[in-house]
Amino acid sequence: MEDFYDLVLKLAEATRNHEQYRDQECINMIASEGIKSPAVKEMQAAASDLEGRYAEGDNDLQGHVKKRYYQGQKFMSPIEDYATDLMKSLFKCNWADTRLVSGTHANLATFKGLSLATKNRKMVVTPLSCGAHISHDYTGLAGAVLGIENISHVYDINEMNIDPDRSADVIRAAKPGIVTFGGSLFLFPHPIKELKEVCDEVGAYVAYDSSHVLGLVAGGVFQDPLREGADFITSSTHKTFPGPQGGVVMGNTDGKRLDKAVKKIQYAIFPLSASSTHLGRLPALGVAALEMKLFGNALAKQIVKNAQTAGQYLYENGVKVLCEHKGFTRSHQIAVDIRAYGGGNKIAQDLEDANIVCNKNLLPYDDQGSKGDPSGLRIGFQDVTRRGFKEGDIKHLCDLMLDVIKGKRKPAEVQQDVKALRKEFAGVQFGFQNAEGAINYIKKA
């Protein structure tokens, strides 16, 4: 083992190097990551005491603090209530819980709560290979931790979406307690509206995992899950929604059916799965909610436009972007079958060598065993959009990607151009440059 003190020095140095590399020198196209404004970062830094505090206890059916077990909560309880109310207002619902520390935690509490409420351990979900998150799957949180049995939605590979007619038959036959929508490879709105009636018929709660698309939902594009029939939204708060890393569950209480579910979800949060709830993220979450209220629509529209522009441009230049017949995507991401150029593993690595960071991804027709070298790439546009890329800039970036994908230039050579392009987009748009700016804006408004 290395010397203890050396390890500390190396840790500090690696951290500095990481910040320089990923934050300054790379172009980030990982679809599951987000980019915070300077104001959001400032609020996070301003809450360093809060970050170390505990607020164990119960909440009421508005999502507000009801009872806390520790003293010293004078300002903490209002902070939690304010953040919760901001999310409720932004997503037009009357209940939210902001105590979740991640999207996985939000799924844990929701799946557990809903299976307690229904006394039914069956859940219909998208297959993992077709874009579900591991936390939905029997091999991950849902199955291995919660003991929930998965039954798969029928997925239409050509449409890159759930087949509503055939999934209705599955739901009718399986009679699950939960039907889940949303996912990680997520190009088109899922058919909640089309399947709501059959979910009601069998008494299943509808959960929608909006981790990837929460910012698009806030911006009023993609889909509006709570209006389309979802009972609950579970989510991360740090992907297209540009907040601090964390989670949230949202929905509506109604006096009976949903109240029962909310109480069980709250129980699944505390005491079942949370002790410290990482309160230090809440002020920053509130500023991110403000930014999305003010700039979310323009941001979301531009993100989708940029993703579609890249889809079209790469496709026209000989790269197999999926779903050309549907305009490639309606979200922040595109899916590319890159086998013709060497496969997901090779191309993701080559792009990384050029400082363009995206991820290799299984495509629905891949064998589950080929995770190490899948057919695809998943490419996300939320980060570059927030940095100010418009359609012309996206095409320029695609040209650099094409140079690498087609082996026209060595990745190390392209890297110089990528660094220069990254430098041109130094700021973060669609947000506030500091917390004072956000506060002044509100005072003037």
Ligand X SMILES: Cc1ncc(COP(=O)(O)O)c(C=O)c1O
> Which spans of this chain sit near ligand X (rule: CB under 6 A)?
32, 102-104, 133, 135, 182-184, 209, 211-212, 236, 247
Q: 30 vs 405, which CB is nearer to ligand X?
A: 30
Q: 184 vs 309, which CB is nearer to ligand X?
A: 184
Q: Compute the least distance from the CB of residue 367 to ligand X, in Å.
A: 21
Q: Compute the least distance from the CB of residue 4 to ligand X, in Å.
A: 31
Q: Compute the least distance from the CB of residue 423 to ligand X, in Å.
A: 28
Q: 135 vs 382, which CB is nearer to ligand X?
A: 135
Q: Compute the least distance from the CB of residue 147 to ligand X, in Å.
A: 19
Q: 125 vs 261, which CB is nearer to ligand X?
A: 125
Residue nearest ligand X (C-beta atom): 103
Q: 113 vs 247, which CB is nearer to ligand X?
A: 247
Q: Residue 7 and residue 402: Cα distance in Å, rounded?
A: 40
Q: 183 vs 411, which CB is nearer to ligand X?
A: 183
Those residues with Cβ within 8 angstroms of residue 6's Cβ, 6 or more apart along the chain or in another chain: none
Q: 98 vs 211, which CB is nearer to ligand X?
A: 211
Q: Hey, what are 208's tokens? A: 């929608």
Q: Compute the least distance from the CB of residue 208 to ligand X, in Å.
A: 10
Q: 59 vs 184, which CB is nearer to ligand X?
A: 184
Q: Output the CA–CA distances (angstroms, integers) from residue 396 to 331, 393, 400, in the order listed.
A: 21, 5, 7
List phi, psi (to 5°) of 214. -60, -40
Q: Is 57 left (phi over 0), alpha (psi -120 to 50) or beta?
A: left
Q: Compute the least distance from the CB of residue 107 to ligand X, in Å.
A: 6
Q: 184 vs 312, which CB is nearer to ligand X?
A: 184
State the pairing for strand pair 376-380/359-361.
antiparallel
Q: Hey, what are 343's tokens? A: 């496969």
Scored b (16 or more CB within 10 A) or e, 281-297 reads bbbbbbbbbbbbebbbb
Q: Compute the least distance from the CB of residue 185 to ligand X, in Å.
A: 9
Q: Hey, what are 187's tokens? A: 């190009």
Q: 32 vs 129, which CB is nearer to ligand X?
A: 32
Q: Compute the least distance from the CB of residue 133 to ligand X, in Å.
A: 3
Q: Compute the least distance from the CB of residue 183 to ligand X, in Å.
A: 5
CA dihedral of 247, 249, 250, 254, whole degrees rounded to 10: -160
Q: Compute the least distance from the CB of residue 32 to ligand X, in Å.
A: 4
Q: 102 vs 115, which CB is nearer to ligand X?
A: 102
Q: Compute the least distance from the CB of residue 238 to ligand X, in Å.
A: 7
